[in-house]
Amino acid sequence: MKNIPWYKNILNYIGITIGTFIMAFAIKGFIEPNGFAPGGVTGIGIMTTKVTNGLIQIWLTNLLIDIPLFIAGVFIVGKAFGVKTFYGIIMLSFFMWIIPTTHATNDFLLASIFGGALMGLGSGIVFRSGGTTGGTDLAGVMLNKKFPHFNISTFMMMIDFTVIVMSGFVSMNLEIPLYSIITLYVTIKVIDIMLAGLSYSKAFFIISENSDKMGSMILNELERGVTVLKGRGFYSGNDKDIILCAVTRSQIYKLKKIVHSIDSNAFIIVTDINEVLGEGFKDFKIE
């Protein structure tokens, strides 16, 4: 693999800095003031701050947990835990230290939605910049290294669930864990959008006896590429052509009209696409 140009490395560190700042702002402005604990090390830090009446701040809890995990990860996993991970850990803790705790809103629902959205946005920027901010990700990767059959996702889900449940006991308020779940859900969805993209494209799988005519019409009228797959009907045993075509949201109705005009008995499967890369859609680039 080629070395990353120096300017891209600088841009990556700028991205991690911006991402961790947004995460810290989400925590100090929306999540911590309302007592939410949406899993992970951040959730543990918020509960620790509450239990100690502010004596142990979130940024300190983050460092006390993440730094030992990082050091252990370097020995267990190796270079996978690079400088960017360490930088992400330090910067998130630094920003949580300098940003004061302020109630951006006292509305629990607004706080959980916007706090989660900002957390997801910041995390997504960090991930796209090639970094992480430590936490349960580090523990999960280490466990997977030592126990290859261990499911990282299950482990992280268990940790998040445990932290969220504990937040209810710490706050003595049933609403806190419920809103923490909303925060975590929104965070995950925004991260998905940041990494996979927000796409309104659809994939059409069309089974028809008139695949040649249909493919030509799609190509000429919609200017979309068409791929013909080979299939076989299990019941009939007959070979069938399956047209695969990706279209934008504005072309969905037009494609349906084309199919219906040629073969009203066609069998169609329409599915959502997270992202389409290539000609006619988004350029295929790895930054």
Residue 152: pLDDT above 80?
A: no
Rg of the Cα atoms in the chain: 24
pLDDT in tens, 59-80: 999 999 999 888 887 877 666 5
Domain positions in the chain are 6-196, 202-272
pLDDT in tens, 82-132: 788 889 999 999 999 999 989 889 899 999 999 999 999 999 899 888 888
CA distances from 187 to 114, 143, 272 (A): 9, 24, 21
Using 50, 70 and 90 to split pLDDT, how confident is the model at 185? Answer: very high
pLDDT in tens, 215-247: 999 999 888 889 999 998 888 888 999 999 998
The length of the chain is 287
Q: Which ranges of 27-107 would DSSP assign to H, the alpha helix?
A: 40-51, 58-76, 83-98
Q: What is the CATH number of domain 202-272?
A: 3.30.70.120
Residue 197 CB neighbours (<10 A) = 14
In this structure, what token pair is assigned to residue 125?
A: 């920027």
Q: What average pLDDT score do residues 165-177 get?
A: 90
Write down the pTM of the prediction. Answer: 0.75
